[in-house]
Every structure is written in C-alpha cells, then in structure tokens.
Amino acid sequence: MESTSSNAPQTAGAAKRRRVDEPEDAVPPPYTPEKYKDMCFEDATILLHCLPSSIAFRVHRGVLAVHSEVFRDMFALAQPSDSGPENTLPVVHMHDDPEKLYRLLKYIYLHQLPDMSDARYMDTLLDMLEPSIKYDVRRARDDCLSALRAEFPDTLSKYHEAIETLLRRHLRGIAQCLRCVDVFTRHECWTLLPAVYASSAMFQIPPGTLHEIAPDYPSARTMAAISLGKFKLQRLRLQTVHGFVRDVVQQPAALHCGHKLARIFVNYMFLDNNVAGVDITDPALMFQKNVPLAADVTPEANQLCDQCRHVWRTAEKVGNERAWMEMPAVFGLGTWEELRDKEAKAHPVQPPVDTHVGAAHADT
C-alpha cells in the first residue's frame, strides 16, 4: 500500500521502502467510471483504488510487476477488499490522480504514447510522465522523456527542426509551458528546462490574468525568472549584434560596402532595433529558423553586395547562437554541461526491463 504522494521528487528506492497502514478516513466503495472501463479487466488479479476518490482499476498484478519493482513490492502488501463485489481481489490503496494513473496503465498495456494531433498531447505526456517516475516504470518514463526532448531540445539545431513541425503549434500555450517548468523541476529533468523557459518568455501575459491562465503551476520565483530571463536574452543578442555594428561604424573601410553599411546601421539604431516591423531582439523570433533577419528586411540592404549582406546575416545568427548557448545561465539554471551532469545523476542509465508479453501475464 502506498502513502500520500508529496510534491518532492521520489526515487525508486524511496518508493519501494514505503510501508504504511490502512487509511484513517473511511474508504469509499471502489467504482470504475465508464471513461476508464478499458482498464478494468474481468480476469484481473488486483484492484488499484485511488484515494480519496472511489475510482478503481481492475488490472493484472503480473503485468504491472514486470514493468516496475515498485509495483511488485507494493502488491506484496495488498490486502483483501472488504467492500462491494470486488471482495475476491486484493486491493492496494493509492494516493494518485486517477487520470494520471489511467494514462500510465494504458501505456503499460498498449505501449502507446498520446496522439500528437490531440490538443491535450502535452498535458497527457506530463500526466504519464509523473507516475512513471514515481513508480519507476522505466520504459514509460524513457518514452515520455524522448517525446518531450523532441519538443524542448538542448541544441539550437534540434530546436529549429522541432519548431518547424506541426507538433509545436498546439503545445505553446503558456499554461502548458508553466506546467512543464513545475514538472521538470520537481522530477529533475534539467536539460528540458531552458527551452521551456525560453518558450514561456515568448508569451505576453496580460496583467492580472496569470491565476486564471495557470492557477496551479507558477511560483513567484518562476515568473520572475521568466521575466528577467527575457530581458537578459534581449540584451545578450544585442551585445553581439551591436558589437558588429560598432565595429562597422568605427572601421567602415574594413568591408567592401562598409560606408553604406555604417549609414544603414546608424539609421536602424535610431529605430530601436525595429526593422520593417521586425524586432530583432524579440525572444519569440530569436530561435526560429526561418524568421527574416534584419539583413534581409532592411530596405537599404539591397544597396549592399552579396558578400557584405552575408557578413551581416552571419553576425545576426551568431547573436542567436550565443543567446542559445548562454540561455540556461540567463534563466538562473547554470550551464548546459552542468544541467546534463545533474540530470545524469538524478536519472542514471539503468538496464532495460524485460516486458515480454509472456512474462507480463505470469500472474503469480
């Protein structure tokens, strides 16, 4: 039987050591709503009862035990049910959100991730990830993390690839991003955090609406990190681009079209970095692959030779790349290397679990 879950991340070892008494409060009779009927089997060998609700799942202890040593140890403590028609099955009381446990059970039985075309794709992935970490269901955890890394990669080139797909178009709501910050922080998925913070910084949140948009997820510290990080990203990119501008203005003869470029830069600096309606410091554009660069949209740029326009474009791209490399520190997370080391320690590589169907159905 399992204790009440906490917000702190729990290791598999800690979960396996849990040994608790029966719940003190009266236990409601177990019941399976219609929406969860596909995880209610006639030949089930154990009953998972989600407290404090009445929702329960009739499943096979052997199937779950093969996927997770935590489940195996919990089932060793299962007690006979004393209520309703379920009294032929041993019962385990679990303090889990029924929806999250349902998502994990569906994965264990069907080995399917959520449909990417579903508007709740991100939320469903997170619903599955949390119990998979809690109960050390490695295959589910690894598949969820792989899918999430495709959305929040740790390299700019992979981010470019991801943002080009339809995947990202329904996942960029601020509520989902803030939930990701919460889940990834609690479960020490460190390398996913920088891209999530950057994605969060792309949104404008009207004053007084944050609690309505995402009532359960953001802390004051998180929102401060996002706001300050957005400002720092803008400054970081400007430092790179303005350094190039300063060099051209100071030594125009160094480039073939240097004098023309210097005049263009002087004009464009007075426009507060807004060129033909494009703000080159906008975080929403900074890490997108095909957003026009100032070198492409500035009207006077057609006066320059191809080589000088290429030099200008390169300077802007270098600014984006530098901002990406320093982004973790911008949001107070450390460096990319430090995040990779922390994540490797929190989630060490473990041997794969044998989840062969034949073994899984050996309910003993």
| Residue 7 confidence class, pLDDT cut points 50, 70, 90 | very low
Phi, then psi, of 290 in degrees rounded to 5: -105, 15
pLDDT (0 to 100) of residue 363: 56
Three-state secondary-structure class, residue 278: strand
Expressed in angstroms, the distance from the first to the final Cα of the chain is: 18
Of 21-30, 66-75, 254-263, 341-350, highest mean pLDDT: 66-75
Does residue 210 contact residue 218 with C-beta atoms inside 8 Å? yes
**258-280 burial code (b ≥16 CB/10 A, e <16):** bebbbebbeebeeeebebeebbb
Mean per-residue pLDDT for 46-57? 92
Does residue 20 contact residue 1 with C-beta atoms inside 8 Å? yes
Tokens representing residue 97 in the block: 């959100």
pLDDT (0 to 100) of residue 191: 96
Residue corresponding to tokens 């140890």 = 73
Q: Between 58 and 356, whose confidence is greater?
A: 58
- Cα separation, 242 vs 57, in Å, equals 61
Q: Nearest CA to 49 among 2, 5, 110?
A: 2
pLDDT (0 to 100) of residue 280: 60
- Cα separation, 46 vs 60, in Å, equals 6
- Cα separation, 189 vs 247, in Å, equals 41
Three-state secondary-structure class, residue 7: coil
Q: Between 137 and 251, whose confidence is greater?
A: 137
Q: Nearest CA to 123 among 84, 59, 180?
A: 180
Mean per-residue pLDDT for 147-164? 86
Does residue 92 contact residue 48 with C-beta atoms inside 8 Å? yes
pLDDT (0 to 100) of residue 8: 43
User: Which domains are assigned to the chain?
Assistant: 12-108 (3.30.710), 123-222 (no CATH), 231-327 (no CATH)
Residue 351 pLDDT > 70? no
CA 144-1-9 angle, 5° bins: 40
- Cα separation, 36 vs 42, in Å, equals 14
325: DSSP letter: H
Q: What is the pLDDT of residues 279-321, one digit of tens each?
A: 666 666 677 777 667 777 777 778 888 888 888 888 878 888 8
| Residue 360 confidence class, pLDDT cut points 50, 70, 90 | very low
Does residue 249 contact residue 292 with C-beta atoms inside 8 Å? no
- Cα separation, 46 vs 227, in Å, equals 48
Q: Calculate the average pLDDT of the chain.
A: 79
Q: Between 172 and 202, whose confidence is greater?
A: 202
Which H helix or E strand runs over 47? strand 46-50
